[in-house]
Copies of this chain bind each other. A is one copy, B any other.
Amino acid sequence: MIMNGPVSGMRADPVITSRTNKKVAELVRLRLPRHRARAGAFLIEGYRELSRAQSRVDLLDLYYCRALWSGRHEAALLARARAGGTRLVELAEEPFRRISHRDRPDGLIGVGRIFPAPLNGLPAQHGSLLLVVQGIEKPGNLGAMLRTACAAGVDGVIICDPATDPYGPGVVRASLGHLFTVPLAITDSGSALRWLQQRGITIFAGIPDAPDASWDADLTGAAAIAIGSEQRGLSSRWAEVAHPVRIPMSAGPAGGPDSLNAAVAAGVLLFEAARQRSGIAAPGSG
């Protein structure tokens, strides 16, 4: 049941106290990809994530539970959301925890409109550094790659053929909200390849037996670092056109090369590109 609650800021927000409330059940369903697709909306949980979302995402609703707030800026975030036309609803702790994806919720969950992420929204100027991720299966990896790409200062991320929904709560969470700050395209491999090739952007792919070590490849020009799926790596159409680079790995106990988690591989290659682009001569190399 929804009733008028205590005044928050300038006027009273509706309050939900029951965990079996119909709206609560609807929000829980947004954890599932098919319900997100049907509603055209997705969940954004957490202060940091919502703050980062405010620049790009049309925030439809914002659910809050004061008992779970841990910082000092929640009221200001609510005020900004309200000013932007977001509907605010107060939740009691029990229904809030039912919706939350977290062990330690911080009392803020928004519903954002799924936003378009076309290739032509990406920058492609001279010297761009892009991350391409293809067929990623695990939300935690996809989110960590978005976070890593932002920290490495990429100009954009292209998500191709995702095997996990980029708007899922695990991706939002692991990205710490960088799903909303990095220039982003979500597309298929064919379109991404055409777009990159038309713009003369060199595609680099981490391949275990490539002759060039990553630090021997010149990553200072317009470059797209391509990382494939956890199980299968990059699909053949990427491997065929990419310039192969090898992250030099120690031999495994069985003699073959070891491998890296997809997000770690992205980090190693992107920060190698950042190092080369910093123009600083490195000790140990001279």
User: Is the C-beta of A193 less than 8 angstroms from some C-beta in chain B?
Assistant: no
Taking the nearest CB of chain B, how far is it from the CB of A270, in angstroms?
A: 9
Q: Say yes or no: B277 contacts A284, CB within 8 Å.
A: yes
- Please report whether the interface of chain A is mostly helix, strand, loop or mixed according to DSSP: loop
Q: Give the residues in chain B near A285, CB-CB below 8 Å.
A: 275-276, 279-282, 285-286
Q: Give the residues in chain B near A253, CB-CB below 8 Å.
A: 52, 55, 181
Q: Say yes or no: A215 contacts B275, CB within 8 Å.
A: yes
Instruction: Give the oligomeric copy count.
Output: 2
User: Is the C-beta of A267 less than 8 angstroms from some C-beta in chain B?
Assistant: yes
17 A-B pairs whose Cβ atoms sit less than 8 Å apart in the complex: A52-B253, A55-B253, A147-B260, A148-B264, A150-B252, A151-B250, A151-B257, A151-B258, A174-B261, A213-B278, A215-B278, A215-B282, A216-B282, A247-B271, A264-B267, A275-B282, A275-B284
Q: List CB contacts (< 8 Å) of A133-190 with chain B.
A: 140, 144, 147-148, 150-153, 174, 176, 178, 181
Query: What residues make up the interface of A, taking CB atoms closer than 8 Å to B?
Result: 51-52, 55, 140, 144, 147-148, 150-153, 174, 176, 178, 181, 213, 215-220, 247-250, 252-254, 257-261, 263-268, 271-272, 274-286
A252–B247 Cα distance when bound, in Å, is 27
A259–B260 Cα distance when bound, in Å, is 20
Taking the nearest CB of chain B, how far is it from the CB of A127, in angstroms?
A: 12
A284–B148 Cα distance when bound, in Å, is 21
A14–B271 Cα distance when bound, in Å, is 53
- 8 interchain residue pairs of minimum CB distance: A276-B284, A153-B250, A264-B267, A151-B258, A151-B249, A181-B253, A268-B271, A144-B261
Q: Say yes or no: A261 contacts B260, CB within 8 Å.
A: no
Q: Say yes or no: B213 contacts A280, CB within 8 Å.
A: yes
